[in-house]
Structure 1
Amino acid sequence: MQDFPAGAELTHIRVVRDVNRSRGFYRDIAGAELIREYGGTSAVLRLCGTWLLPVTGGGPTDDKPTMPFTELEHPYTVSHAMTFWVSDCQAAYDTLRARGARFLTPPVDHGFEVRCFFRDPDGHLLKLSEAR
């Protein structure tokens, strides 16, 4: 595989029901920096060294003519997740929980990893992981 040009970065696009609610979650709970907003249909956030764009759904466009952006249909299934690699899973869990994050379980120690999962307001899965 050919390397990307110098300076290339990765952006995660998340289709959400309410951009304001998602922006608040990622900014106020996850600690993202709000970079800009676009008329209530999308926001640009910087989070843990990567870009995150919560956007509202929409139909096909001229550059993706057969592919609409749609919201997560079944919030109890996983097709994409983001992992936050942390040095102390329990401390990160405590901080995020105090800010309002709702976790599926407290951190679980699997020996090689301590991890726990939570969801954003649209049901997208997020993971805290402390590698050992």
Structure 2
Amino acid sequence: MRRDDLPAPESGMLLTHFLTVADVPRSRDFYAGVLGGEVVLDENPCIVRLANSWLIMNPGGGPTPDKPDVTLHPPDDPRTATSFLNLRVADIERCYREWSALGAEFLTPPIDRKAEIRCYLRDPDGYLIEVGQSTGLLHGVLADPPAGGR
């Protein structure tokens, strides 16, 4: 393993995303096998380099000295989300076809939302993942306000 493979900047900062998962091998296989990430470390923690970022995955658990009142667990209600991964792609139709063939289950096919074409899928633990391709946004067309917004 090379230092460049790890999310360990020599200066400044970089962004990674931590996922609490129920089954590390299953999640690792999804992010590497379906979405095309590169496994950097198998476990403790699992690290997958995906595009220009890293996903860090570990099972849930109770409080630790550095987070004394926090318990980690995968999502428990697929109808609600407080955050999600947002993957920006150059060709959403290709991603939709290829990832579907590899077992990804999308909520809908890609839908044109004026500023972008997008669709959503879930990982094995139920984490929501948006896949989007900027279209109108590149020409100054903005998205409609969120549903229920002002």
Give distance in 2, aligned partners of 1:109 and 1:81: 20
- With normalisation by structure 2, the TM-score equals 0.79
1:29-68 mapped onto 2 (5 Å cutoff): 29-38=34-43, 42-68=45-71
TM-aligned CA deviation for residue 79 of structure 1: 1.2
Number of positions where the alignment pairs a residue of Structure 1 with one of Structure 2: 126
1:1-132 mapped onto 2 (5 Å cutoff): 6-38=11-43, 42-132=45-135
Asked if 2 retains the 8 angstrom alpha-carbon contact of 1:15 and 1:71, the reply is: yes
| Gaps in structure 1 of 5+ consecutive residues | none
TM-aligned CA deviation for residue 10 of structure 1: 1.1
Q: Kindly provide the CA deviation profile for residues 95-127 of structure 1, in whole angstroms up to 9, marking residues without a partner as x.
A: 111111000000001222100000000110001
TM-aligned CA deviation for residue 17 of structure 1: 0.7
**Secondary structure, in 3 states, of the residue corresponding to 1:53?**
strand
Higher RCO structure (Cα 8 Å, ≥6 apart): 1
Alignment root-mean-square deviation, CA: 1.4
Which is richer in strand? 1
Partner of 2:5: none
Give distance in 2, aligned partners of 1:80 and 1:6: 27
Give distance in 1, aligned partners of 2:12 and 2:30: 28
